[in-house]
Chains A and B, each alone.
Chain A
Amino acid sequence: MSSDAAAAAASRHATAAPAHQFDTPAQQRETASLGMWVFLVTELMFFGGLFLVYIVYRYAYPRAFALGSHELDIVLGTTNTVVLIASSLTMALAVRSAQIGRRRPLVVCLVLTMILGSVFLGIKAYEYHHKYVERLVPGPDFRFPGEEHARIFFSLYFAMTGLHALHMIIGIGVLAVMLVMGARGRFGPQYHNPIECSGLYWHFVDIVWIFLFPLLYLVGRHV
């Protein structure tokens, strides 16, 4: 394989040549997404620890969890679920646009994904503020008459949704980079690993919320 400067430059712009350690573009793509999946498994274990804490404490204090959950705003929680799943749809469409090399839909879908992600964070911030005003943030001012262990529920609520929100913020940052790369025409049918991996990350964060939503907002709804 004689690679000259022109070919090297071209390979940086969404054409055929894979990096020299790979035989084919397909191998390169599979390697990248495998690496991303392994990273996501470490993320799964990271969040898994918090879910384990949730299970143990909910088993110990079921009433505190039900009453605490009742204080969360079901309308805002459900809205955020819809917003986040919609952002996953636009993310999937962005990756698809990159795969078929359509720059304009790619840019539009990425911008939509970032807007929906920001809407999610905005609603979350509003909820946090509301909880602060209601003195439901664990700390010296925490008040929950009649069920002191609700403090544990709210500690977990802030730890889990806070960690999730942090992932969203990082995801939006990653998407900003993808937006610049995409707008410059760096992705096409032969090369779209970065946006594929960014998509995997975004969908993973969506999945974490898919579990957080029923565990935090829905457990005490019928009480």
Chain B
Amino acid sequence: MKTQSDGAHVVPVRVYLAVFAALMVLTAVTTAAAFHDLGPLNNVVALGVATLKATLVVLFFMHARYGTRLTPLVITAGLFWLLILIALSLTDYLTRGWLGVPGR
């Protein structure tokens, strides 16, 4: 791995090609899995593979692996905020039917 005078990593072409190949394989896996009824596992596979693919893109194509630690920190903070948005909203929407509410 070469480091340039300004500290930028030049990633070897074969790394990019390997990541691309992995993304293609994962696309095939998720598409094939969707044709089988796996029950709740369908969602797990679909989102798991998508998350894996996104992680590969972020780490290699977007160079998050190669920069300072500040970049992963910003990404983690962003994802944490997204988690707050989704989790706290769902505590409302997913639990509305749990208790008997007078008048319903």
Chain A residues within CB distance 8 Å of chain B: 16, 24-26, 28-30, 33-34, 37-38, 40-41, 44-45, 48-49, 51-52, 55-56, 59-60, 74, 78, 81-82, 85-86, 88-89, 91-93, 96, 99-100, 189-192, 196, 199-200, 203-204, 206-207, 210-211, 213-215, 217-219, 221-222
Contact = CB atoms under 8 A, between A and B. Distances in A.
Contact of A25 (B5, B50, B93): B5
B82 to A, nearest CB: 5
- State the majority secondary structure of interface residues on B: helix
* Max chain A Cβ within 10 angstroms of own Cβ: one of B24, B27, B60, B62: B62
29 contacts: A25-B7, A26-B7, A26-B8, A28-B6, A29-B6, A33-B71, A34-B74, A41-B74, A44-B78, A44-B79, A44-B82, A49-B85, A52-B86, A55-B90, A56-B89, A59-B93, A81-B27, A82-B24, A88-B57, A89-B19, A93-B16, A100-B10, A190-B4, A190-B6, A203-B61, A214-B46, A218-B46, A219-B42, A222-B42
A221 to B, nearest CB: 4
A99 B68 CA distance: 18
Contact of A52 (B34, B49, B89): B89
B61 A210 contact: no
B57 A45 contact: no
Given A92-B16, A203-B61, A207-B57, 20 more contacts: A16-B5, A25-B5, A33-B63, A33-B71, A52-B85, A52-B86, A81-B27, A88-B61, A89-B19, A93-B13, A96-B10, A191-B6, A196-B63, A206-B61, A214-B47, A214-B50, A217-B34, A219-B46, A221-B35, A222-B36
Contacts of B49: 214
Contacts of A213: 30, 50
Contacts of A26: 6-8
A37 B24 CA distance: 25
B12 to A, nearest CB: 9
A37 B90 contact: no
Contacts of A60: 93
A25 B6 contact: yes
B98 to A, nearest CB: 13
A207 B46 contact: no
Contact of A37 (B46, B54, B74): B74
Contacts of A93: 13, 16
Closest A-B pairs by Cβ, 9 of them: A41-B78, A25-B6, A26-B7, A218-B34, A214-B46, A221-B34, A222-B37, A89-B20, A92-B61
Interface in B59-102: 60-63, 67-68, 70-71, 74-75, 77-79, 81-82, 85-86, 89-90, 93-94
